């Protein structure tokens, strides 16, 4: 049974699960680990977001997407706050998010600082092409066996 | 003088001016991968600028925000190191400057994570991860080019010789540095000089480059007394749009 005008925090987390990362749309903003906290006070919702990289231009898109997604389900009293401490690290990525990255062709971050294997053919013969990639959170690597280039989610 | 404000402007202006210089490479990098790396470094620095200048604007309490501080101040209001405003010239000088800056910035930000000012500690903790990544790359690029061909080695040595008289400006301390050390907001920059020099020695040796002799350092940028003629040109490019259309939004 649902009670009109009353939203649970769990419900908000559920809605946020449906908001994709604008640059890597296979994972949600929740699995990316940028949602720090959700609090609800009757119909007022407050969400704390942490940036991945301090200059990441996707952060403003993420805020807009969250506003749009919550407006769609009737949340109008929404406050988005930025929280930079403790800083985001790749540890905040969920296991589900890491698996989804790999499936999408992006090697998930590893504590060793480089990808474990090629996301296309699983070969462990991989080499770095560039420490940076198409977005602040990625580096460019290449597989020496299947010769395909691939993105690696940088470990910070 | 509000020393905390002065301190924050120095942090923010360093990131802003270097970020602007790095962004000049966008579309001009020697290879696509390098172009992307330079642009990403610029992006990190501009992001850090927003944090430092955002806090500076709050401390100033004059109703300005980070954008106002970035776009509406003139050269004499800027508090960045002179080394960061000199032109990029070539890829070698750009990366050598990045290395000289990163080699200080990493231990500096690490020290600031223990700041008595929680906001400073927070911003440092966020920025230091990016700075470490930058140092990693600038170090390996300096080594690769220094230990490359005779031509690339020559470029890197000339870059080092050119930048050397600017490199130690950060250690020229003034009342703001002493005030910040006194209240535990930041250590004295000179306390990190030994560590900085060690990083330089190790990297330059591996890169087959000779560290210039002499301790002379141009001063004036971080205390705002005098900048090079290059800063005005940089600001003209960076500020023209918001100054021409002050209330534009998109
Ligand atoms: Zn492969």
Residue B249 lies in a domain: no
Task: Identify which has the larger pLDDT, A38 or B247.
Answer: A38
Residue where one domain finishes, among candidates A62, A88, A114: A88
Size of interface A-B (CB pairs under 8 A): 65
Q: What is the CATH number of the domain that holds A47?
A: 3.30.300.130
On whether any CB of chain A is under 8 Å from the CB of B134, the answer is no
Q: Is the pLDDT of residue A3 over 80?
A: no
Residue where one domain finishes, among candidates A67, A88, A109: A88
**Nearest chain B Cα distance for residue A56, angstroms:** 7
Q: Is the pLDDT of residue A1 over 70?
A: no
CA–CA separation, B237 and B165 (whole Å): 26
Residue B13 lies in a domain: yes
Are A64 and A18 within one domain? yes
pLDDT at residue A4, as a whole number = 46
Gap from CA of A132 to ligand 1 centroid (Å) = 20
Interchain pair B50, A55: CB under 8 A: yes
pLDDT at residue A5, as a whole number = 60
On whether any CB of chain A is under 8 Å from the CB of B133, the answer is yes
Number of structural domains found in chain B = 1
Give A100-139 pLDDT, tens digit per residue: 999 999 999 998 889 999 999 999 999 999 989 888 889 9
Number of structural domains found in chain A = 2
On whether any CB of chain B is under 8 Å from the CB of A113, the answer is no
On whether any CB of chain B is under 8 Å from the CB of A156, the answer is yes
**Nearest chain A Cα distance for residue B213, angstroms:** 33
Residue B57 lies in a domain: yes
Residue A82 lies in a domain: yes
Gap from CA of B43 to ligand 1 centroid (Å) = 30
Domain range enclosing A81: 9-88
Other C-beta atoms closer than 10 Å to the C-beta of A69 total: 16
CA–CA separation, A109 and A93 (whole Å): 9
Q: Residue A86, preceding bond cis, omega within 30 degrees? A: yes
CA–CA separation, B229 and A62 (whole Å): 40
Are A70 and A137 within one domain? no
Interchain pair B41, A132: CB under 8 A: yes
Gap from CA of A142 to ligand 1 centroid (Å) = 8
Residue B250 lies in a domain: no
Give B56-73 pLDDT, tens digit per residue: 999 999 999 999 999 999
Pairing of strands A126-130, A106-107: unpaired
Residue A1 lies in a domain: no
Residue A72 lies in a domain: yes
Rg of chain B on CA atoms, in Å? 18
Residue A105 lies in a domain: yes
Are A101 and A39 within one domain? no
Interchain pair A56, B47: CB under 8 A: yes
Pairing of strands A138-143, A44-49: unpaired
What CA–CA distances, in Å, run from A25 to A17, A31, A105, A118, B56? 12, 11, 12, 20, 35
pLDDT at residue A2, as a whole number = 45
On whether any CB of chain B is under 8 Å from the CB of A51, the answer is yes
**Nearest chain B Cα distance for residue A4, angstroms:** 37
Are A44 and A30 within one domain? yes
């Amino acid at each position: 049974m649902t009670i009109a005008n009353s939203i649970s925090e769990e419900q908000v987390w559920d809605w946020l699960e449906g908001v994709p990362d604008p640059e890597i749309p296979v994972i949600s903003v929740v699995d990316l680990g940028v949602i720090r906290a959700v609090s609800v006070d009757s119909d007022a919702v407050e969400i704390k977001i942490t940036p991945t990289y301090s200059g990441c231009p996707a952060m403003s898109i993420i805020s807009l997407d969250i506003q749009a997604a919550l407006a769609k389900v009737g949340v109008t009293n929404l406050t988005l706050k930025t929280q930079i401490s403790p800083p985001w690290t790749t540890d905040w990525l969920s296991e589900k998010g890491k698996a989804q990255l790999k499936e999408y062709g992006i090697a998930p971050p590893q504590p060793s600082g480089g990808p474990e294997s090629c996301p296309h053919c699983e070969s462990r013969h991989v080499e770095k092409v560039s420490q940076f990639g198409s977005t602040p959170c990625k580096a460019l690597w290449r597989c020496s066996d299947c010769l395909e280039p691939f993105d690696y989610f940088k470990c910070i | 003088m509000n020393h905390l404000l002065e301190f924050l402007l120095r942090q923010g202006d360093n990131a802003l001016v270097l970020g602007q210089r790095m962004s000049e490479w966008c579309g001009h990098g020697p290879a696509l991968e390098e172009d992307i790396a330079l642009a990403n470094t610029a992006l990190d620095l501009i992001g850090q600028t927003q944090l430092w200048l955002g806090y500076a604007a709050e401390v100033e309490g004059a109703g300005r925000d980070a954008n106002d501080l970035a776009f509406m101040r003139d050269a004499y209001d800027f508090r960045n190191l002179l080394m960061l405003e000199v032109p990029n010239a070539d890829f070698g000088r750009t990366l050598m400057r990045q290395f000289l800056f990163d080699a200080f910035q990493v231990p500096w930000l690490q020290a600031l994570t223990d700041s008595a000012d929680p906001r400073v500690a927070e911003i440092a903790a966020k920025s230091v991860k990016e700075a470490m990544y930058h140092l990693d790359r600038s170090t390996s690029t300096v080594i690769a080019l220094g230990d490359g061909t005779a031509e690339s080695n020559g470029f890197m040595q000339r870059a080092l010789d050119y930048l050397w008289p600017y490199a130690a400006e950060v250690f020229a301390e003034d009342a703001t540095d002493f005030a910040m050390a006194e209240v535990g907001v930041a250590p004295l920059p000179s306390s990190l000089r030994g560590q900085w020099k060690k990083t330089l020695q190790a990297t330059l040796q591996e890169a087959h480059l000779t560290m210039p002799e002499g301790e002379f350092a141009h001063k004036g940028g971080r205390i705002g007394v005098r900048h090079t003629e290059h800063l005005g040109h940089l600001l003209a490019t960076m500020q023209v749009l918001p100054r021409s259309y002050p209330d534009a939004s998109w």
